[in-house]
């Protein structure tokens, strides 16, 4: 959507833009934000893309992801809280593109199957229209890969897990915590998915949650029934054996063990191979494939910033495609990438981590005409957010921030997050929570 | 495995056989019988193939699926019961091929990505070795598709199901009924998966099960907590509204709504499109693609018979490939297919249904050198089995049958099925059940 909007913005300013075709395998746009109740495979036997779930609310303040060219105020017409639920964020990102004619550029329900470099120039893209199962191959001069990287689960095996007598699922397949009520839950992992699924379980009545970390614990001030233990070594029946010698029985296991950057539609040599990191190697300006001209990737970074970073990337990619931004020679590209990698490797504090990504975005915006915004102010919001979470992991979503785009102060939601059990737009936008059926 | 074994059997008799390469995306053979605890996607982000689950036991007497060239007696050295658990059947099918050198013909962990007709003759097969993500394309004269048809779930949507506040999963993703203990469970569908998942839930302590049928109820004599209701119309919260006006609240929903014949690796024009039926149209002798010479499908039929039917098919396909069986002209093929289709459409009774498939297999065996066996006797076992299930759906798996291959009478398992909570080979083959950890 960012890339489409980038081209639309240039077109609105009178630029001559090429034909743009966006292939989207779902029947609606919104990516991760386009929730589905399905798990595993969808109605066309395609892997389900979204990893989101019922009761997923933004886990960062919306003031950090606001678009610089489409504010929350413009969309909602009034201040809202800082941590809206998924449906409300979908509404916001949809609002920027719906009704603008951009749907005509999208082929929905169409999955890209293969992208192969054309022997002379450009790429042959083979796609399948899923409802009709009909395939077609077309030539494109440039290819922008914007398929996300939180959809293909990384699922490590643990000895004995195959006979654990209860649900074992990766965060990707988690669709809601209601089924964890009264259960003793083991969550493996110590990042955002672990944290949020753990507190979702708590919110919806789990008897206990043990988080099991590989590298380090999250260290929040958990309520008494939530604890952090070292990594599981093995399972026997419902009992987990931990590295520190402790054992405990569980009713359910959630593997919040992250995702794989995976591009099954690309030939091996064009696949981006990277861990989840702030600066994947071999992408000039974080977007242009270092060794393959005319191949671009959006959003492949680990994410403090999201929507507005994707925008800045998309605007620059647009300018690369339109030859408004001249891609320099190979050595210059390598030096630029290396400079960012060196800086990344030297990061020691959370502040440096966030500032790194802010500076990266600043660099992008300076190279294109995406509206510059107060990135330093956003860094401060991120740091305050970290602080809020340390202070109280169960109430941080009740805090309010001020927009750096419009200076609007968010207003508290009518219901504290821990009590909010209706995550629909209607309930959120009403003046008081609608009772759940 | 049947196809490999078919070629091996010809080779053992001195036939000159061509190079045979079997691509298997899992790291082990056994297909559905190769259980995995994973759901959704596997470690290589491939859709998980097997739809089986903990505590899955054969749902038909093993005497109906016994290989004509490798008996249960030969494998186990002593009589066993008629309904072994999954691991024991895996052991049996593995036993026929393990240690015979056939592993050398298989490229494990290698998924076929595309099969395209070569402009001159044969096919180009592109496969990916999953651990290394390396792709290669090779030429083959003949292609046998034996990828099964119970892996890609058919998942209809129901109004309101997206906000059902508990687990909603297709039978394909069901991995065991322990999590259904004390729950009120809704199972949609009225075929084998519905039946077995419903009684698994009951066995493992579900509070109640409602089966919801579209066409007709299964009509077994269910225990009091299991009932059959008409189709669900819609959900609101945890409440399901049924076509007959009844409503009820549930904790979990299992969609046992069948599978899709799906061949994402074939070009559209070569895909077999069929419902789950005894005689898919456009397959000569049920195996040879009517319009595409040198393209074969195994096991695409709805199944009374399984292993020995796959064998008979594989032996005939082998003979087609070796030009030992001459494929007749198009009109002859069409007439043959049409004759079977006409007979299928005239089927009125269960007996006719089973006899249809027995006669189909007889036809195949008469055309090749697979050992003929007493198909009529197997038909009678199937009918007795149907009768046993009508008599008592919870004890039918305790019944014993006589092998048509060896005349060996099965012996009762040491534990009635409803009480057997260890489905491992070790527990099954021991003289008494090992207590569960
Ligand atoms: C559980 C979870 C919660 C999150 N919560 C937040 C949050 O609170 N705040 C936040 O800012 N970010 C959050 N994120 C981060 C999220 O990744 C970004 O917000 C954003 O969705 C990334 O956008 P994207 O377009 O790069 O990728 P995605 O949103 O993943 O979209 C990729 C799109 O590509 C399509 N696609 C994939 N393969 C193909 C193909 N072969 N052919 C055609 N189409 C294809 C998909 O259908 C999808 O629509 C969350 C992520 C996850 C997993
Ligand atoms: C839940 C369930 C229970 C069943 N229970 C019984 C029972 O009790 N008794 C009985 O007789 N039958 C049972 N069946 C029927 C079962 O389908 C057959 O027994 C048998 O497994 C079918 O064998 P197959 O080789 O045709 O397919 P499968 O067993 O499905 O094997 C297909 C193989 O193809 C591989 N494959 C798929 N796509 C690719 C690709 N693109 N590249 C490489 N490899 C690929 C898979 O990894 C798999 O190994 C059951 C089926 C299900 C779903
Ligand atoms: N809005 C929300 O509420 C919400 C909820 C969930 C997720 N998200 C978003 O989703 C994205 C993905 O987050 P994520 O947490 O799924 O992925 P992630 O940030 O990449 O974290 C992966 C986690 O898995 C652990 N891990 C990996 N391999 C492991 C192994 N073999 N054994 C044990 N642990 C292992 C890692 O531990 P190490 O530290 O040891 O490497 C790390 O803790 C983020 O953008 C996040 O913001 C948002
Ligand atoms: N060993 C075991 O215990 C075991 C366990 C499970 C499965 N299996 C095997 O697995 C294979 C597959 O069996 P299966 O039962 O999954 O598939 P199946 O036999 O094809 O049955 C599909 C079922 O789904 C129903 N259905 C389809 N669409 C529906 C809709 N929109 N709404 C409601 N119902 C719908 C069908 O109802 P209609 O009648 O209305 O069409 C039918 O009852 C079989 O070979 C079986 O033997 C074995």
Is the same domain home to A267 and A134? yes
Rounded Cα distance between B174 and B256, Å, is 10
Determine which residue's CA is closest to atom 6 belonging to ligand 2. Answer: B58
| Nearest ligand to the C-alpha atom of residue A305 | 1
Question: How many domains does chain A divide into?
Answer: 2
**pLDDT tens for residues B106-134?**
999 999 999 999 999 999 999 999 999 99
Is the same domain home to A321 and A183? no
DSSP notation for A26-94: SSSS-GGGS--S--SB-TTSPBP-----TT-B-SS-GGGT-BTTB-HHHHHSS---SS-BHHHHHHHHH
Is the same domain home to B230 and B125? no
Determine which residue's CA is closest to atom 28 belonging to ligand 3. Answer: A257
CATH number of the domain to which A218 belongs: 3.50.50.60
A306/chain B closest Cα distance in angstroms: 24
Residue in chain A closest to B158 (alpha carbons) equals A37
Is the same domain home to B141 and B22? yes
Q: Which chain B residues are closer than 8 Å to A162 by Cβ?
A: 35-37
Q: How many angstroms separate the alpha carbon of residue A252 from the centre of ligand 3?
A: 18
What integer is the mean pLDDT of B35-41? 95
Tokens of B73: 């007696």
Asked if the ipTM is above 0.90, the reply is yes
Q: Are strands A123-129 and A239-242 parallel, antiparallel or unpaired?
A: unpaired
| Residue A404 resides in a domain | no
Rounded Cα distance between A183 and A250, Å, is 8
Tell me how far apart the terminal alpha carbons of chain A are, to the nearest angstrom.
34
**pLDDT tens for residues A69-128?**
999 999 999 999 999 999 999 999 999 999 999 999 999 999 999 999 999 999 999 999
Average pLDDT, chain B: 96
Beta bridge partners of A168: A253
Is the same domain home to A287 and A321? yes
| Residue A334 resides in a domain | yes
Is the same domain home to B212 and B283? no
In the listed set B382, B411, B428, which residue is the last one of a domain according to the structure? B382
Is the same domain home to A141 and A115? yes
| Per-residue model confidence (pLDDT) at position B437 | 43
- Atom of ligand 2 lying closest to residue B34 CA: 49
Residue ranges lining ligand 3, Cβ < 6 Å: A 56, 58-59, 150, 154, 156, 171, 188-194, 196, 214-215, 231, 256-258, 276, 303
Is the same domain home to B93 and B200? no
| Residue A316 resides in a domain | yes
Is the same domain home to A270 and A128? yes
In 3-state terms, chain B is what percent helix, strand and coil (to 5)?
30, 20, 50
| Per-residue model confidence (pLDDT) at position A27 | 97
| Per-residue model confidence (pLDDT) at position A433 | 57
Q: Is the CB of A58 under 6 A from ligand 1?
A: yes
Rounded Cα distance between B271 and B337, Å, is 18
Residue in chain A closest to B152 (alpha carbons) equals A45
- Atom of ligand 2 lying closest to residue B32 CA: 29
**pLDDT tens for residues A14-28?**
999 999 999 999 999
Residues 6 or more apart whose Cβ sits within 8 Å of residue B213:
B189, B190, B228, B229, B230, B231
| Residue B329 resides in a domain | yes
Environment class of A13 (CB within 10 Å of its CB; exposed 0-12, middle 13-18, buried 19+) = exposed
pLDDT below 70 — which residues of chain A?
432-437
Q: Is the pLDDT of residue B436 over 70?
A: no
Q: How far is C-alpha B34 from the geometric centre of its chain's CA atoms?
A: 12
Range(s) of the domain holding residue B80: 2-151+259-382
Residue in chain A closest to B259 (alpha carbons) equals A45
**pLDDT tens for residues B281-315?**
999 999 999 999 999 999 999 999 999 999 999 99
């Amino acid at each position: 959507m960012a890339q489409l909007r980038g081209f639309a913005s240039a077109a609105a300013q009178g630029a001559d833009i090429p034909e743009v075709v966006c292939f989207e395998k779902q029947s609606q746009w919104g990516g991760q934000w386009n929730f589905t109740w399905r798990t595993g495979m969808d109605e066309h036997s395609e892997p389900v893309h979204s990893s989101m779930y019922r009761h997923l609310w933004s886990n960062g303040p919306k003031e950090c992801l606001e678009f610089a060219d489409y504010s929350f105020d413009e969309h909602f017409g009034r201040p809202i809280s800082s941590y809206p639920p998924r449906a409300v964020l979908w509404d916001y990102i949809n609002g920027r593109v719906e009704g603008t004619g951009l749907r005509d550029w999208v082929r929905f329900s169409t999955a890209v199957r293969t992208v192969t470099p054309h022997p002379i120039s450009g790429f042959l893209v083979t796609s399948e229209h899923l409802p009709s199962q009909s395939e077609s191959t077309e030539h494109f001069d440039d290819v922008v890969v914007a398929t996300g990287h939180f959809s293909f689960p990384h699922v490590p095996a643990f000895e004995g897990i195959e006979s654990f007598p209860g649900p074992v699922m990766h965060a990707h397949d988690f669709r809601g915590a209601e089924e964890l009520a009264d259960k003793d839950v083991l969550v493996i992992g110590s990042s955002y998915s672990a944290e949020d699924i753990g507190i979702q379980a708590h919110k919806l009545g789990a008897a206990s949650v043990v988080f099991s970390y590989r590298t380090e614990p999250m260290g929040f001030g958990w309520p008494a029934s939530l604890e952090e233990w070292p990594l599981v070594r093995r399972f026997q029946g419902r009992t987990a054996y931990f590295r520190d010698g402790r054992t405990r029985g569980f009713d359910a296991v959630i593997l919040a063990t992250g995702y794989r950057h995976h591009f099954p539609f690309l030939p091996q040599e064009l696949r981006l191979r990277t861990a989840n990191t702030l600066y994947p190697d071999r992408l000039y300006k974080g977007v242009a494939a270092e060794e393959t001209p005319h191949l671009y990737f959006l959003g492949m970074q680990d994410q403090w910033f999201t929507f507005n970073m994707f925008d800045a990337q998309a605007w620059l990619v647009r300018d690369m495609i339109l030859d408004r931004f001249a891609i320099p020679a190979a050595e210059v590209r390598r030096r630029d990438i290396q400079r960012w990698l060196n800086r990344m490797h030297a990061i020691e504090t959370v502040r440096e981590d966030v500032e790194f990504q802010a500076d990266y975005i600043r660099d992008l915006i300076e190279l294109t005409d995406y509206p510059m915004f107060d990135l330093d102010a956003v860094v401060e919001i991120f740091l305050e957010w970290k602080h809020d979470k340390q202070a109280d992991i169960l109430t941080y979503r009740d805090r309010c921030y001020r927009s750096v785009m419009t200076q609007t102060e968010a207003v508290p939601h009518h219901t504290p997050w821990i009590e909010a059990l209706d995550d629909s737009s209607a309930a959120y936008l009403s003046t008081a929570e609608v009772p759940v059926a």
